[in-house]
Every structure is written in C-alpha cells, then in structure tokens.
Amino acid sequence: MFEIYDTATGKVIALADEPRYVYRSPKNGVWIRCDEPDAECVAVNGTRYSIRGRAQVDDAPATVAIRKADAAKRIAELAKSSIAQAQTLDEVKFRFEDLVDAVIDLIDWRYADEIAKLQQDMPS
C-alpha cells in the first residue's frame, strides 16, 4: 500500500495498492501508464499530480510525494483519533460512519465491497 500526499500541505490525497505512474507520449500527447523511472507524474482518480523532484506538469493541481504505508495501521490511527474526540455514544457512531465514508474515498475502489460489508455489520 502506498500513500500519495501533497508535499505543500502534508494532506493525504490517496492510498493505493500501486501508484499509477504516467508519461505523455511525445508522438500524440496522450498520457500513458508506465513504470516509476519513466514517469512524468502520478494519476489519482483521473487527476495528474507532479512528483516531487521531477519537472512540474503544467495542469497538475499539486506536487506529491509517495511513500509506503500500512493501510490497516493508517485506518486504525484515523479511527482512534476521530472516536476519541466523541462525547456521546451517538457521536461515536456518527464519527465511525464518517470515518468509513472517508476510508472508502481514500482506498482503491477494489476494497469498496469489503468496506460496505463493514458498514452493514455496524451496530445500530
């Protein structure tokens, strides 16, 4: 699992099994998936981001860095932090539901079915 984060803010943009590295074809300008050494940028949900230490991509909204991450540990940290701030049981449930929604947004969509099952199994 890899964490892709904005180098200016430190905000995590995405968690992914593998970063989607791309380069622009010199022949026709089409963006093509490639291995990391050949990459001009990394694509996240259709948006291209410049990679720290490489040439800036004109239309990139931010420069990112990529690091290995332990997804289970990251999710546990988010849950602990969020739920620790809750004052009532209802607030704990509300924060947990928000956390699950955020995790769905962060994690590669291939895990969405498993996360949806967790939501269904959540006590009401």
- Tens of pLDDT along 46-85? 899 999 999 998 889 999 999 988 777 777 777 777 667 7
Nearest to 40, CA basis, from 62, 61, 24: 24
- To the question of pTM greater than 0.75 for the whole model, the response is no
Which pLDDT score, from 0 to 100, does residue 40 have? 95
Which pLDDT score, from 0 to 100, does residue 23 have? 95
Does one domain contain both 38 and 94? no
Does one domain contain both 13 and 55? yes
Q: How far apart are the first and last CA of the chain?
A: 31
Confidence of residue 92 (pLDDT cuts 50, 70, 90): confident
Does one domain contain both 34 and 57? yes
Total of domains in the chain: 2
| Cβ pair 48, 42 in contact under 8 A | yes
Domain extent at residue 43 = 2-68
Does one domain contain both 51 and 79? no
